[in-house]
Amino acid sequence: MPTWEEIKAVLWEWTRTHGLRIAIALIILFVSFRIINLVSRLILRRSEKKNKVDKTVSRTVIYVVRVVVKVLIAVALVAYVGIDTSGLAALLAAGGVTIGLAVNGALGNIAGGVLIIVTRPFRLDDFIEVAGYSGTVEDIRLVSTRLRTPDNKVVVVPNGTASSAVVVNYSVKDTRRIDITLPIGYEDDRPRAQKLLLELCKKKKTVLKDPAPMVRVMSNGQSGVELIVRVWVRSVDYWSTYFDLIEDCKTTLDAAGIKIPYPQMDVHIKKEK
């Protein structure tokens, strides 16, 4: 069993003979990584400005190339320092089963990332719903996809899940339909309420004329007649128009004296003789 003094002597001798190479390797590693990051950002900006290459593909390709180049530089510097890589290879071979189990999920996510890039169910800046989360696609990596939710949270979805789950993409089409359900009382003037709501929709600048807005009876509910307001808008105007219509429909009905009924129940009490 070697003593502590012998261990220190070996470490000191190794540092004395390899110290300069280690310092040079660290400097090269730091500088090269900074240059790689800078060059990749410049290439990405130019490719996005030209709009000739799909943003999703360009970002993913640049990310993969950047990682590969960094790994090659790190391996070359390890050999330059003089570290025997055969021992490292033997260690990896001995733990091959454990490493294989550990990266099994990662390999599935990588395969999912490649599938997403090839099939393109969504792209960068699309607003999607996947795996129970909704948000704008900020980044697509080989292993995961990053979403920004409407309340500014970041959700990281593994690509294995994103590629196999049901994806709802709200940004593919240029237009979307808004459905708003409004109940009115049975005693209220239903045709008048429909006419007022339809006129309101037609006056909205963000509401498209084709397809034309529609106000119809959806069902006869327990507490009143349920009217449905359906309009088409551009996808970018969806939420602003949705909230405006909710407020304006309520204001219009109130001004006309048409009230939204509360849930009610008729109870009949029978007296026993």
The per-residue pLDDT for range 94-124, each reduced to its tens digit, is 555 454 545 556 777 888 888 888 888 998 8
Of 29-43, 54-68, 171-185, the range with the lowest mean pLDDT is 54-68
- Checking if the pLDDT of 65 tops 60, the result is yes
Contacts of 112 (CB under 8 A, 6+ apart): 158, 159, 160, 161, 162, 163, 164
pTM of the model: 0.61
Compute the average pLDDT of residues 222-244.
92
Q: Name the least confident of 13-17, 18-22, 34-38, 188-192.
A: 13-17
Interval 184-206 mean pLDDT: 93
d(C-alpha 129, C-alpha 114), whole Å: 19
Mean pLDDT of 60-65: 76
Amino acid at position 214, single letter = M
| Mean pLDDT value across residues 55-73 | 77
Average pLDDT of the segment spanning 51-60: 65
- The yes-or-no verdict on residue 77 having pLDDT over 70 is yes
Contact 62, 44 (CB under 8 A): yes
222 pLDDT higher than 60:
yes
Q: Which amino acid is present at 115?
A: L
Query: Is residue 209 very low, low, confident or very high in pLDDT (cuts 50, 70, 90)?
Result: very high
pLDDT in tens, 129-178: 999 999 999 988 888 899 999 999 999 999 989 988 999 999 889 999 99
31 versus 47: which is more confidently predicted? 31
Question: Does the pLDDT at position 266 exceed 50?
Answer: yes
Distance (Å, rounded) from C-alpha 256 to C-alpha 34? Answer: 67
Higher-confidence residue: 49 or 144? 144
**Alpha-carbon distances, residue 147 vs 56, 77, 116, 124, 162 (angstroms):** 14, 36, 15, 10, 11
Question: So what's the pLDDT on residue 130?
Answer: 93
The helix/strand/coil state of 165 is: coil
Is the pLDDT at 59 greater than 50, yes or no? yes
Say what the pLDDT of residue 145 is. 92
Give the architecture (CATH level 2) of 175-255.
Answer: 2-Layer Sandwich (3.30)
Q: Where are the domains of the chain?
A: 175-255
pLDDT number for residue 108: 79
Among candidate residues 64, 77, 80, 83, the one with its CA nearest the CA of residue 30: 77
Q: Both tokens of residue 89?
A: 């290879």
pLDDT of residue 101: 47
Q: Given pLDDT bands bounded at 50, 70 and 90, which one contains residue 201? A: very high
Average pLDDT, the chain: 82
